[in-house]
Structure 1
């Protein structure tokens, strides 16, 4: 069965060899690649925001319309500096590229009519294991200035999300939204059915935690060097230590993903300009 997710943008995020779980967009002319990051987010918005059946009909003849539809579904708020869409698109892109996941329900359909985000997972993907098994990747993304605050908030959110009552409601919300245009959709729906124990969901689930935050290492370096990697590795270690102290990793499978950025505000502004250009 062909999937509408067989095609994806060329990768921009690159894993750091000496800081596994950290991904960087790199430098250009001694500057962190803020504009390239913002452009890459726009490249991914169709994959992120549209449903599988809508992506199936994407052609060169309607690509601009599809891009505008995706942009319109993300946000129109003037308060872009407090919004988390950049984090959500980033975790979507990295998991699609490096962990071979695909979405089974678009994140933007969790928005209420007033465009306020329902408290839910920031990413709902599936990863195929072999020919017949599935993993549900239920992600949490934080796009913050402060790295320590970001991981603290992420751990609090995930802890809330794995409570019994929340997961029961989540299954009721997600089950009917599973796309029939992806392989083994029936197995995903079965895991999310009300009749199946939450124990089965925990056995099938992976919880990626994505942190993008202002990085002293990225701010002080002008190129991708061994010292830059070593400095980022220290920042990554502080996030890993926070997860270890929480003991959350003893209850669920966690995958940590870290993107060190030079300036949250700068990136938010660059992305916002591009998004508003698609919403004249």
Structure 2
């Protein structure tokens, strides 16, 4: 069995999945005893840490090394520059949803991918592959925004993606990613060829999906205490607003976009809960 076949038990519930005019979905942590499940979501993101931060050959975890592996994953996340702004929390959420719901597999662990780029020029927040059938695959190049304001988050995401699809940027990304594609991946040679300098960027566009994850404070979450039809409708309204702003940018007419919305009760509260758990794994006596 491949190590990527094992994933944490699902927590985030898919509320919406709309394919028209292009794919846009929403996911929520839900409620418990009239409270948004902040602690449960923080725990869940910690569960995904090893899958997010460790290399494939480090994911052979057993009861004898599980604590060491978790600490290694936490240390790698905690030491990155993005963590100072809590950007990693959004990235792990995007990683978890794509791995869980769409069965993607990392082309390269995000932490190592960023290290290769020296953090000088911002790289994609996620680089995965999704196998559509036995003969075809998609390269998923993701962007995540973990903000208080959804409007600010989608505006920042649009700016980032527009910068990312620049020819010069994509050539650089291909140069970084190509050598990191594990030979153990199905169709590894085809993936490497697609990412080779000699291959046109047009071929990458034909095979690529650009998921954008927006995790932000939500009026729908804050005005409800349980998973009601009214709550689901409220989240759909927020998802639609984000989708319309992304549509107005013109990006969906150029590349294959996939909007992922994760409504939060409080960005600051979940960041604090996650920080406490991460610090507990990185503390030194």
> Which category describes the TM-score, using the shorter chain as reference length?
over 0.9
Cα separation, 2, equivalents of 1:181 and 1:86: 28
Structure 2: stretches of 5+ with no match in the other structure: 19-23
- Are 1:196 and 2:199 matched, yes or no? yes
- Are 1:146 and 2:149 matched, yes or no? yes
CA contact (8 A) 2:141 2:209 kept: yes
Tell me how far 1:271 sits from its aligned partner: 0.2
Tell me how far 1:117 sits from its aligned partner: 6.9
- Are 1:237 and 2:207 matched, yes or no? no
TM-score calculated relative to the size of structure 1: 0.94
Tell me how far 1:3 sits from its aligned partner: 2.2
Moved more, 182-191 or 205-214: 182-191
| 1:75-132 superposed Cα distances (whole Å, 9 cap, x missing partner) | 2479957221111000100011111111110111133499857501000000002102
**Structure 2 match to 1:35:** 39
- Are 1:108 and 2:107 matched, yes or no? no
Measured on the aligned residues, the alpha-carbon RMSD in Å equals 2.0
**Structure 2 match to 1:14:** 13
**Structure 1 match to 2:177:** 174
| 1:46-92 superposed Cα distances (whole Å, 9 cap, x missing partner) | 0000011111x211211111101100110247995722111100010
Cα separation, 2, equivalents of 1:164 and 1:98: 30
Cα separation, 1, equivalents of 2:73 and 2:243: 34
Cα separation, 2, equivalents of 1:172 and 1:18: 34
How many equivalent residue pairs?
278
**Structure 2 match to 1:44:** 48
Say if 1:32 and 1:252 are closer, same or farther in 2 by CA, change over 3 A: same
- Are 1:162 and 2:162 matched, yes or no? no
SS at match of 1:212: strand
Cα separation, 1, equivalents of 2:39 and 2:149: 21
**Structure 1 match to 2:21:** none
Cα separation, 1, equivalents of 2:219 and 2:84: 20
Structure 1: stretches of 5+ with no match in the other structure: none
TM-score calculated relative to the size of structure 2: 0.93
Moved more, 11-20 or 64-73: 11-20
Tell me how far 1:243 sits from its aligned partner: 1.0
Moved more, 67-76 or 134-143: 67-76
**Structure 2 match to 1:262:** 265
